[in-house]
Amino acid sequence: MALTVLFGTFVFLLIIGTPIAFCLGVASFATVLVLGLPPLVVFQRLNSGVSVFSLMAIPFFIFAGDLMVRGGIAARLVALAGSLVGHLRGGLGQVNIAASTMFGGISGSAVADASAVGGLMIPQMKARGYGVDYAVNITSVGAIIALLIPPSHNMIIYSISAGGRISIADLFTAGVLPGLLLALSLMITAYWVASRRGYPTEPFAGFGRALQLLLAAIPGLILIGIIFGGVRSGIFTATESSCIAIVYAFLVTLIIYRSMSWNDFVTATTAAVRTTAMVLMIIGCAAAFGWLLAYLRVPAALVAFLQSVSDNKLVILLMINVVLLILGTFMDMSPLIIITTPIFLPVVMAYGVDPVHFGVILILNLGIGLCTPPVGAVLFVSCAIGRIPIWTAMRSIWPFYGAAFAVLMLVTYIPEISLWLPSLFH
């Protein structure tokens, strides 16, 4: 009964368009009333769910990413990528993917990546005669790379949803190879599509020009080292590294690039507030929801159910992947991480899957969901930049979905791709 109220209220409100944070909060509120528990507990969980120090990394990384886009750090990374891979088949498409990979090293958000890289690359690609759909598709699917390459605030959300026991440094390290693998497979796909459509290559700019662009991009590249090195070596926590990223981005744009006005700063701050207050509100409400799931023993029941279906780890992982892909088409990433982690993590751990490995699977899988309609924030951002309807992008996006899905399967069934690099640090 209580379970019906919890899920029934949630799904009903979700369908009629209530903001997800309130779907979760009100469903928990209603369930607590039905169970006869004190309603106080919902709001106590809401508050304690967001009073977590590591959560602060989320507004910080998003704020830092915004400063890097407005201040020109992102633009210089894109220019550097242009001089490195622009001469490959599918020229600017390759540049787009390489730029996503580099920008992913300083920002952990796929939406920020799509708006930063897409904002610079899509108009250029249009002007050089590439199909807008091609530009939009590469930008969207390429943005998933940013979720895997550290820093990734979604991995922090995963670690917190899993009870905070999974090392963020390990998760960050585990994402590196899958991220690079995804970049590689997308570059191959971009090459293949470009050959079929007869897209041009860019002339190689020459070593002198490349060196010049490298020098201009160095402040951004140093930040990659500071964040990853700092967290990996334990010099500072993920939250502290995100704070240093803000201060660093602020100083670089203010002193070296001289491209930040007070108005830019205010706009960046309020933009960060708008984006992250909403995400954190979802996290708070999901804390109440998750507490009720545990109270009603949902994860345990699911483990028992799945064990009755199959005792094969590979089958279970495939089933979970399919369920996550379906959920990912109509829900956003962070609420899904918060809701599904406490449900699925005990299941896969019962089958002997490493929680760090599952984290990478989850992030990559839900990352694909960001590029699928009806709800796909990254695809929407890219289409808005390219000014094409979602349908136009959808018609030719399939090879890129295919590449991302292939990497998802590789990452799911070859745990070493995720776990080998972290194991070197133990």
Partner 1 sequence: MKSFWLATERLLSQLARLALWVSGAGLTLMTIIIFWQVFSRYVLNRSPSWTESFSVLLMGWFIFLGAAVGVRERTHLGFDVLLYFLPHAAKAVLRSISDIVVLAFGAGMIVYGVQLTMLTWNTVMPSLALPGGVGFLPVILGGALVCLFSLERLAGRFAGLPVDADQYATGEEDL
CA distances for 38 relative to 31, 32, 305, 426, angstroms: 11, 7, 31, 45
Decide: is 374 part of the binding site for partner 1 (CB under 8 A): yes
Residue 252 contacts partner 1 per CB under 8 A: no
How many chain residues touch partner 1 (CB under 8 A)?
A: 58
Q: Which of residues 14-33 bind partner 1 (CB under 8 A)?
A: 14-22, 25-26, 29
> Of 227-246, which residues contact partner 1 (CB under 8 A)?
236, 239-240, 243-244, 246
Angle (CA) 51 54 60, round 5°: 100
Piece of the chain touching partner 1 by CB under 8 A; list 34-42, 142-150, 158-166, 363-371: 34-42
Chain centroid to Cα 53, Å, comes to 20
375 binds partner 1 (CB under 8 A): yes
Taking CB under 8 A as the criterion, the residue among 273, 315, 322, 409 binding partner 1 is 273
Q: Which stretch binds partner 1 (CB under 8 A): 113-121, 278-286, 296-304, 317-325?
A: 278-286
Q: Could you say whether residue 42 binds partner 1 (CB under 8 A)?
A: yes
Q: Which of 176, 196, 177, 200 is nearest to 93 (CA)?
A: 200
CB of 334 to partner 1, least distance (A): 8
Angle, alpha carbons 306-282-247 (nearest 5°): 120
176 binds partner 1 (CB under 8 A): no
- The distance of closest approach from Cβ of residue 343 to partner 1 in the complex, given in angstroms and rounded to an integer, is 19
Size of the chain, expressed as the number of residues it contains: 426
User: Should residue 335 be labelled a site residue for partner 1 when binding is judged by CB under 8 A?
Assistant: yes
CB neighbour list of residue 98: distance below 8 Å, 6 or more residues apart:
81, 84, 85, 183, 187
Supply the minimum distance, in Å, between the C-beta of residue 278 and partner 1: 5
Tell me if 209 contacts partner 1 by CB under 8 A.
Answer: no
Interface with partner 1 by CB under 8 A: which range of 8-16, 213-221, 302-310, 410-418?
Answer: 8-16
Residue 339 Cβ vs partner 1, minimum distance, rounded to whole Å = 13
The reply to whether 274 sits near partner 1 by the rule CB under 8 A is yes
Residue 125 CA to residue 388 CA, distance in Å, equals 14
Task: Give 282 or 343: the residue with its C-beta nearer to partner 1.
Answer: 282
Judged by CB under 8 A, which of 39, 163, 206, 402 binds partner 1?
Answer: 39
Q: Which stretch binds partner 1 (CB under 8 A): 9-17, 112-120, 186-194, 357-365?
A: 9-17
The least distance separating partner 1 from the CB of residue 362, rounded to whole angstroms, comes to: 18
260 CB-near residues (< 8 Å, 6+ apart): 67, 70, 71, 250, 253, 254
Beta carbons of 223 and 164 less than 8 angstroms apart? no
Q: Does 277 bind partner 1 (CB under 8 A)?
A: yes
**Residue 44 found at the interface with partner 1 (CB under 8 A):** yes
Binding site for partner 1 (CB under 8 A): 13-22, 25-26, 29, 39-40, 42-44, 46-47, 50-53, 55-56, 59-60, 63, 236, 239-240, 243-244, 246-247, 263, 266-267, 269-270, 272-274, 276-282, 284, 330-332, 335, 374-375
